[in-house]
Chain A
Amino acid sequence: MIDFDALNQAISMVFTFNTMLWLAIGVTIGVGVGAMPGLTATTGIALMLPLTFSMDQAAALGLLIGLYKGAVYGGSISAISFATPGTSEAAATVFDGHKLMQRGKGKKALLIALYASVTADFLSDVITILIAPMLALVALQFGPSERFWLMVLAVCLLGALSGAHFAKGMFSAALGLFIGTVGADPVSSVPRNTFDFWWLADGIHLIPLVVGIFAMGAMLEKVCELSSVRHKVQRIGGTFKGLFSMSGEGLSFREYLSCWKEMSIGLGVGTFVGMLPGLGSTVGAFLSYGIAKQASPHKKIGTGRIEGVAAAEAGNNATVGPTLVPLLAFGIPGSAVAALIGAALMLQGATPGPRMFELYPAIIYSLFLVLLLGNIFNLGIGRVFAFVYAKLGELPAPLLVPIVMMMAVIGAYAYENNPYDVLIMLFFGIVGLFMRSFRIPEAPLIITFLLAPQAEENLRRGLLINEGDWLATLLSSPLAIGLAIGVVLLTYISSRMRISERMMEISEEQLEAESKASSDRSSN
Chain B
Amino acid sequence: MASAEGKTSWIKTNQGVSACLSAACLVLIIYLLNQEWVYQQLRDGFHLGFVPMIAAGAMLLCALAMLVDRHKRDTTPEIARLKAKHWILGLVALAICYTYFYFTWNIDFLLISPIFLALGSYLLGVRPLLSALIAGVVVGSVIFFLFRIIGIELPSMLF
Contacts and interface: CB of A to CB of B under 8 A. Distances in A.
A164 B131 contact: no
Interface string A388-431: 00000000111101110111111001100001001100100110
Contact of B89 (A55, A170, A223): A223
B76 A437 contact: yes
Contacts of B151: 54
B44 A464 contact: yes
B58 A177 contact: yes
Contacts of B33: none
A403 B100 CA distance: 12
Interface in A170-208: 170-171, 173-175, 177-178, 180-181, 185, 187-188, 190-193
A4 B97 CA distance: 50
Most buried by A among B48, B61, B93, B126: B93
A232 interface: yes
Contacts of A165: 14, 66, 71
Contact of A430 (B66, B94, B132, B139): B94
A175 B116 CA distance: 33
A174 B125 contact: no
A3 to B, nearest CB: 31
B26 interface: no
B19 interface: no
Nearest to A236: B131
Contacts of B1: 164, 439
Interface residues on B, range: 35 or more
A173 B54 CA distance: 12
Contacts, number: 191
Contact of A221 (B44, B78, B120): B78
Interface string B81-94: 11001100111011
B49 A403 contact: no
Interface string B28-59: 00001000011010111110110110111011
A180 B56 CA distance: 12
B124 A468 contact: no
User: Helix, strand, loop or mixed for chain B's interface?
Assistant: helix
Given A54-B151, A236-B126, A413-B101, A170 B62 contact: yes
B117 interface: yes
A497 interface: no
B21 A399 contact: no
B100 A409 contact: yes
Given A51-B150, A54-B152, A406-B100, A429 B52 contact: no
Contacts of A409: 97, 100-101, 104
For A55, A402, A405, A406, the residue with the greatest tally of chain B CB atoms inside 10 Å of its CB is: A402
A256 to B, nearest CB: 36
B135 interface: yes
A398 B118 CA distance: 10
A92 interface: no
Nearest to A221: B78
A171 B121 contact: no
Nearest to B40: A190
Contact of B58 (A174, A396, A414, A460): A174
A405 B127 contact: no
Interface string A339-363: 0000000000000000000000000
Contact of A401 (B52, B101, B121): B121
Contact of B90 (A188, A223, A234, A235): A223
Interface in B124-147: 124-128, 131-132, 135, 139-140, 143, 147
Given A414-B147, A419-B101, A437-B76, A171 B59 contact: yes
Given A401-B120, A402-B121, A430 B63 contact: no
A463 B44 contact: yes
Contacts of B119: 402
A438 B139 contact: no
A243 interface: no
A167 B46 contact: no
A452 B51 contact: yes
Contact of B116 (A167, A174, A406): A406
A297 interface: no
Contacts of A231: 125
A154 B137 CA distance: 46
Nearest to B128: A235
B97 A181 contact: no
Of the listed residues B76, B90, B91, B150, the one surrounded by the most CB atoms of chain A closer than 10 A to its CB is B90
Q: Which of B37, B44, B51 has the most CB of A within 10 A?
A: B51
A185 B48 contact: yes
Interface in A100-120: none
B64 to A, nearest CB: 9
Interface of A: 51, 54-55, 164-165, 167-168, 170-171, 173-175, 177-178, 180-181, 185, 187-188, 190-193, 216, 219-221, 223-224, 226-229, 231-237, 396-399, 401-403, 405-410, 413-414, 419, 422-423, 426, 429-430, 433, 436-439, 452, 456, 460, 463-464, 468
Given A170-B62, A175-B55, 17 more contacts: A165-B66, A170-B58, A171-B21, A171-B63, A174-B56, A174-B59, A187-B46, A190-B40, A192-B52, A226-B125, A406-B100, A410-B152, A413-B105, A422-B101, A429-B94, A430-B90, A439-B76
Interface of B: 1, 14, 17-18, 21, 32, 37-38, 40, 42-46, 48-49, 51-52, 54-56, 58-59, 61-63, 65-66, 69, 71, 76, 78-79, 81-82, 85-86, 89-91, 93-94, 97-98, 100-101, 104-105, 113, 116-117, 119-121, 124-128, 131-132, 135, 139-140, 143, 147, 150-152, 154
17 contacts: A167-B18, A173-B58, A177-B51, A178-B55, A187-B42, A192-B38, A192-B48, A219-B93, A223-B124, A227-B85, A227-B86, A397-B124, A399-B132, A410-B154, A430-B94, A456-B51, A463-B44
